[in-house]
Amino acid sequence: MSKISDAFLKEKAFIAFVTGGDPTLDMTVELVVGMAEAGADIVEIGIPFSDPIAEGEVIQRANLRALDAGASVVGIFDAVRRIRKRTRVPIVFLTYLNPVFRYGYDEFFAECADAGVDGIIVPDAPFEEQGEFKPFARKHGVDVISLISPTSEGRIAKIAAEADGYIYLVSSMGVTGVRSSISADVPGIVASVRRASNAPVAVGFGISTPEQACGISRVADGVIVGSAIVKIVEEHGEDSLAPVKDYVRTMKRALSKGI
Amino acid sequence: MSNDKGRFGQFGGQYIPETLMNEVLRLEKEYDRYSKDLEFQRELTGLLNNYAGRPSLLYFAEKMTRDLGGAKVYLKREDLNHTGSHKINNVLGQALLAKKMGKTRVIAETGAGQHGVATATAAALLGLECEIFMGKEDTERQALNVFRMRLLGAEVHTVTSGTMVLKDAVNETMREWTRRVDDTHYIIGTVMGPHPFPAMVRDFQSVIGKEARKQILNAEGKLPKAVVACVGGGSNAIGSFHAFLGDGDVRLIGCEAAGKGIGTGKHAATITTGEVGVFHGMKSYFNQDCEGQIAPVYSISAGLDYPGIGPEHAFLHEVGRAEYVAITDEEAVSAFEYIARTEGIIAAIESSHAIAYAVKLAPEYEKDDSIIVCVSGRGDKDVAAIARYRGVDIHE
Asked whether B70 and B365 are in contact (CB, 8 A), the reply is yes
Confidence of residue B396 (pLDDT cuts 50, 70, 90): low
> Residue B224 has what pLDDT?
98
Least confident of A171-175, A244-248, B51-55, B212-216: A171-175
Interface touch B179/A124, C-beta < 8 Å: no
The number of CA neighbours under 13 Å toward the Cβ of A127 is 23
Mean pLDDT over B268-282 rounds to: 96
Q: Is the pLDDT of residue B298 over 70?
A: yes
- Residue A192: inside a domain: no
Report the gap between the CA of B150 and the closest CA in chain A (Å). 26
Written as one letter, the residue type at A145 is: I
Mean pLDDT over A131-139 rounds to: 97
- Residue A151: inside a domain: no
Q: Is the pLDDT of residue A259 over 80?
A: no
> Residue B221 has what pLDDT?
98
Interface touch B278/A155, C-beta < 8 Å: no
Mean pLDDT over B262-274 rounds to: 94
Mean pLDDT over A139-154 rounds to: 95
Residues of B in contact with A174 (CB under 8 A): 19, 175, 178-180
3-state secondary structure at position A204:
strand
The number of CA neighbours under 13 Å toward the Cβ of A241 is 14
Residue B215 phi/psi, 5-degree rounding, is -65, -40
Give the separation between CA A76 and CA A99, rounded to whole angstroms: 12
Give the separation between CA B146 and CA B27, rounded to whole angstroms: 29
Q: Is B211 exposed, middle or buried (0-12, 13-18, 19+ CB in 10 A)?
A: buried
- Residue A165: inside a domain: no
User: Domain range spanning residue A219?
Assistant: 3-145+176-181+200-257
Asked whether B68 and B363 are in contact (CB, 8 A), the reply is yes
Give the strand pairing for B129-135 and B7-8. Answer: unpaired
Give the separation between CA A48 and CA A72, rounded to whole angstroms: 8
- Residue A158: inside a domain: no
Q: Is B376 a catalytic residue?
A: yes
> Residue B162 has what pLDDT?
86
- Residue A167: inside a domain: no
Question: Directed axis angle between helix A210-217 and helix A241-257, to 10°?
Answer: 40
Confidence of residue A182 (pLDDT cuts 50, 70, 90): low
Q: Which residues of B264-275 are buried (b: 16+ CB within 10 A; e: fewer)?
A: eeebbbbbbbbe
Q: Is B109 a catalytic residue?
A: yes
CA neighbor of B367 nearest in space, from B161, B211, B207, B220: B220
DSSP A13-72: EEEEEEETTSS-HHHHHHHHHHHHHTT-SEEEEEPP-S--TT--HHHHHHHHHHHHTT--
Write down the mean pLDDT value for chain B. 96
Cβ contacts below 8 Å, chain A against chain B, sum to 125
Q: Is the pLDDT of residue B330 over 70?
A: yes
Mean pLDDT over A59-63 rounds to: 96
- Residue A171: inside a domain: no
Residue A235 to residues A240, B46, B126: CA-CA distances in angstroms?
A: 8, 57, 47
Mean pLDDT over A234-254 rounds to: 97
Q: Is B5 a catalytic residue?
A: no
Q: What is the helix, strand, coil percentage profile of chain B, to 5?
A: 50, 20, 30
- Residue A194: inside a domain: no
Report the gap between the CA of A173 and the closest CA in chain B (Å). 5
Choice among B72, B87, B167, B381 that is catalytic: B87
Give the strand pairing for B105-110 and B322-328. Answer: unpaired
- Residue A88: inside a domain: yes
The enclosing domain of A71 has a CATH number of: 3.20.20.70
Mean pLDDT over A216-231 rounds to: 96
Interface touch B18/A74, C-beta < 8 Å: no
> Residue B299 has what pLDDT?
93
Q: Is the pLDDT of residue B2 over 60?
A: no
The predicted-structure confidence for B193-235, as pLDDT tens digits, reads as follows 999 999 999 999 999 999 999 999 999 999 999 999 999 999 9
The predicted-structure confidence for B336-360, as pLDDT tens digits, reads as follows 999 999 999 999 999 999 999 999 9
- In total, how many domains does chain A have? 1
What ipTM was assigned to the predicted interfaces of this complex? 0.96
Q: Is A78 exposed, middle or buried (0-12, 13-18, 19+ CB in 10 A)?
A: middle
Q: Measure CB to CB from residue B161 to each of A60, A125, A127 and give the nearest one.
A: A60
Q: Measure CB to CB from residue A153 to each of B16, B20, B22 and give the nearest one.
A: B22
Q: How many residues comprise chain A?
A: 259
